[in-house]
Structure 1
Amino acid sequence: MRVGLTVLVAALALGGCTHSAPPRESPAVPVIGSSRPKAGGERTVPDDCDAVATLDDLTRMLHHFVPGPVRRIVGVPQDDIGRTARLDCYYGLAADQPTAGAPIWIGLTSYVDEESARKRRTATVADERSAGGTASVNDVVVGDGHGVLIRAASWMLVAGRGRVTVVVQVVPTMVREDQAGQLLGQVADFALTKH
């Protein structure tokens, strides 16, 4: 009888009918393209413009078709202003067109601390005001914060969150004047929070 019981237990084990230990937790599956940072997380500057905003993202947010292609320029750290990373994304450029002619430009930059980021935002707004001569400047909502909307030759919005700043520039024909603040604010918030 003992031999028969041993054979039965062996047969059950080989047949996979034994009781196994409880399964371990499965490893977390990475989420790609989530639109919001984790709680308490801070945006990092990517090296790819699709991680800032895709053509489809911009078309949806601006209610205006945004053509391709997308051209990127990856900046380098700059110690004298505390810059740690920079990415400039130019949307809608023809192959031989200079970046200054882009219908949409989004620049995302990170700094060593919030104070350095704030100083750069202030300097950018001051530079645009002096260059624009008659530029109009208004505060606008950007997510749960605010930014500065400048209207000169193009619409430009300057905003930031923590150590990261964003500049969104759009040619006037892509947004209506009464919607510019809201729409560029949405683009800026998206660029500051997309992960």
Structure 2
Amino acid sequence: MTVLTGCTRSSGNRVVSMSPTVPTSASVVSATATPSPSASASPLLPGNCAELAPLQRVEEALGVNLLGDVTYLRAAPVPQSGRTGRVTCGYGTPVTTPSGGTPTPSGRPLVELSYITYVDAKTAADRVTLTVHTDSQHATTTQVQVDGKPAWVLVGSDWDELVMADGARTIVAEVSPRILAPEKAPAVLTRLAAQMLAFGASMSPGASGAASSG
């Protein structure tokens, strides 16, 4: 695993890029970076967490300041499931500093935002349906709208989660209940998902994936 350390923000949070399966080069991460959508045949994925959801926007949605690292993970495609790409950004990631060593991310972040692309809209919608069906067995499910598109919020004892499909991409936002009260989960997760949808264009213009909680 290659760990690349980028710039820090005024709050003291470090930005760490982790790419265990897709090589990447170190780059300065700016909280004001903007995406550059292209018409390339390859899936458009955020190059860093500032493109997907800047830390400041995440903290504004939550109403709290997060301590710990911001981590960026880019995973390889999974042909068996139809996944063509995935980026997961972690916010408030715990850090471990060995004696005389380099601080490294350790443990699950308080917030995880995943942007995932698939071969087509049907595959993306099917993945959302499966996730909602599986996770709803241990959570309370509510249907919401994100920019006019259907999404599902699942509030459980371990994690609060929003999942949705938009064309050939899916959005997954997860927040620890340690920092998010159950009654606030739908509104907060909806704001986070809207921020994520702003990156790029729908993988299948005009076709929004729909899922069922049944």
Q: Give the TM-score taking structure 1 as reference length.
A: 0.72
3-state SS of paired residue (1:33): coil
The one-letter amino acid of 2:76's match is V
Q: Following TM superposition, by how much is the alpha carbon of 1:126 offset from its aligned partner in structure 2, in angstroms? A: 2.1
Report the equivalent of 1:179. 184
CA contact (8 A) 2:33 2:51 kept: no
Q: Does 1:107 align with 2:107?
A: no
Q: Does 1:124 align with 2:124?
A: no
CA contact (8 A) 1:71 1:90 kept: yes
CA contact (8 A) 1:155 1:180 kept: yes
Counterparts of 1:122 and 1:45, CA distance in 2: 22
Report the equivalent of 1:151. 155
CA contact (8 A) 2:68 2:95 kept: no
CA contact (8 A) 2:91 2:112 kept: yes
The one-letter amino acid of 2:146's match is V
CA contact (8 A) 1:76 1:85 kept: yes
Report the equivalent of 2:94. 94
Q: Does 1:33 align with 2:34?
A: yes
Q: Which runs of 5+ in 1 are unaligned?
A: 1-30
Q: Kindly indicate which of the two structures has a greater share of residues assigned to strand.
A: 2
Counterparts of 1:176 and 1:189, CA distance in 2: 20
Counterparts of 1:51 and 1:67, CA distance in 2: 20
Q: Following TM superposition, by how much is the alpha carbon of 1:122 offset from its aligned partner in structure 2, in angstroms? A: 1.0
Greater length-normalized contact order (CA 8 Å, ≥ 6 residues apart) = 1
Q: RMSD of aligned C-alpha atoms?
A: 2.4
Counterparts of 1:37 and 1:138, CA distance in 2: 32
The structure with the larger Rg is: 1
How many residues end up aligned between the 2 structures? Answer: 156
Q: Following TM superposition, by how much is the alpha carbon of 1:95 offset from its aligned partner in structure 2, in angstroms? A: 2.2
Q: Residues 128 and 48 (structure 1 numbering): CA distance in 2 closer, same or farther, change over 3 Å?
A: same
Report the equivalent of 2:54. 54
3-state SS of paired residue (1:173): coil
The one-letter amino acid of 2:174's match is Q
Q: Kindly indicate which of the two structures has a greater share of residues assigned to helix.
A: 1
CA contact (8 A) 1:113 1:163 kept: yes
Q: Give the TM-score taking structure 2 as reference length.
A: 0.66
4+ residue runs of structure 1 moved beyond 6 angstroms?
Answer: none
3-state SS of paired residue (1:172): coil
Counterparts of 2:37 and 2:62, CA distance in 1: 22
Q: Residues 55 and 127 (structure 1 numbering): CA distance in 2 closer, same or farther, change over 3 Å?
A: same
Counterparts of 1:37 and 1:146, CA distance in 2: 23
Report the equivalent of 2:175. 170
CA contact (8 A) 1:70 1:92 kept: yes
Q: Which runs of 5+ in 2 are unaligned?
A: 1-31, 97-104, 201-214
CA contact (8 A) 1:37 1:193 kept: no
3-state SS of paired residue (1:47): coil
Report the equivalent of 1:81. 81
